[in-house]
Structure 1
């Protein structure tokens, strides 16, 4: 039988001795007095059961032979992959422009872009609205003046054109402008085919020019007429 407690009372008959560090154990007559402790015990048991179940599902429980759980390496690899993907997403995620930054301005091109293919078989119109096949004017220097008349540049180009090269100014719509420069033939492009061909947006201070030889091959596309020396050699090429 057990040792008596501090009041000289031992454990009830038939019960083993209790550990001395437990102190005095009082068994209440009404079991409802232990309801709070019972709820704590049940809560702890449920928590342990859930943890055990999830560890088993993830393969984190020790194996009977004492080796590490099978799911542990998989979990490590999964975490590493997630961290890597998060880093890549952070680097490649598009950033919105800051409010203090100004818009990106693309300067108007000053160098000739790549060739855009042979001259298409377009029909322009003259002042009487009669169709004029563009290929019938080759070789030609065709200047688009739908956004800029650029009279000085057109006059310089006409003066530099060698014999046999037709200098043509082209406006948009059906209104044909008058050219004060002798030797320049004004035409209109109702369908806007030439502007689509050169793939250059209209600029109010620029008149692009197309230099085409007698075979319809594009020799030079000048996005903006400048000094004649920039394209004089090309004029000689299309006249050959």
Structure 2
């Protein structure tokens, strides 16, 4: 049997000699007192077993001859290759051009044709007293839209160039007739409450521009002027409307 320790206690009966560095070994009478220590030992064993299993799966366990495993270097190399490939794909992937580099300017169409050669829509406009006025009842006519520009001088010049039998009609947007017609003016001033004439023309309102339509007595639009200019530009058309 073993030698007694410094306090005179020897190893428990029935046990072989224990290493002296273990110190005094006390065996409890109730084995349940060791339940907590046993559970801790089992947890540690499970942790070590799981760690060893994952090391074997990843190839991190050294070979039997002491050579280091290649699993970790190969894993690092694979990650580097994947990262480089993803970067190359991102750089070389075709991209749509950015719209902010150069603004796109849509020029005002010089010859809008949606209404040319077609019948003028049957629209009812209103006068200064809000009385409905059928537009087709004023033909033949030169119809000038003044919702973007009053253009009083150009409208007056058009009225002066119109031959007998051809009316000049100014059409404002909304319900208010603007500018108000002067007393004795040859221009028939109306308003388009619904904006249907502007929509049918397919020309957005431009500040400082007054487009015009020349419509014959049968209601066919023979010409569209995107911007009313000098009478010389449309005088011949006015003469043909009177024929």
Q: TM-score, normalised by structure 1?
A: 0.60
| Alignment correspondent of 2:139 | 138
Query: What secondary structure does 1:234 align onto?
Result: helix
The count of residues paired between Structure 1 and Structure 2 equals 161
Report Cα offsets for 1:75-103 as digits up to 9, x if no partner.
Answer: xxxxxxxxxxxx9x73xx421135xx453
Superposed displacement of residue 150, structure 1: 0.1
Superposed displacement of residue 139, structure 1: 0.5
Greater than 6 Å deviation, 4+ residue runs: none
The 3 A distance-change label for structure 1 pair 185 and 33 is: closer
| Alignment correspondent of 1:96 | 98
Superposed displacement of residue 174, structure 1: 1.1
Unaligned residue ranges in structure 1 (runs of 5+): 1-31, 48-86
Larger Rg: 2
Structure 2 distance, partners of 1:225, 1:33, is 94
Query: What secondary structure does 1:34 align onto?
Result: coil
Which residue of the other structure, out of 199, 205, 215, is the alignment partner of 1:196? 199
| Alignment correspondent of 2:113 | 114
Aligned residues: CA RMSD: 2.8
Query: What secondary structure does 2:219 align onto?
Result: coil
Q: Is the 8 A contact 1:140 1:211 kept in 2?
A: yes
| Alignment correspondent of 2:162 | 161
Superposed displacement of residue 227, structure 1: 1.2
| Alignment correspondent of 1:34 | 64
Report Cα offsets for 1:109-168 as digits up to 9, x if no partner.
Answer: 4x3222423200000011111111000001010001111100010011001111111110
Q: Is the 8 A contact 1:212 1:238 kept in 2?
A: yes
Q: Is the 8 A contact 2:141 2:169 kept in 1?
A: yes
Q: Is the 8 A contact 1:115 1:221 kept in 2?
A: no
Query: What secondary structure does 2:238 align onto?
Result: helix
Superposed displacement of residue 190, structure 1: 0.4
Q: Is the 8 A contact 1:115 1:220 kept in 2?
A: no
Unaligned residue ranges in structure 2 (runs of 5+): 1-61, 75-91
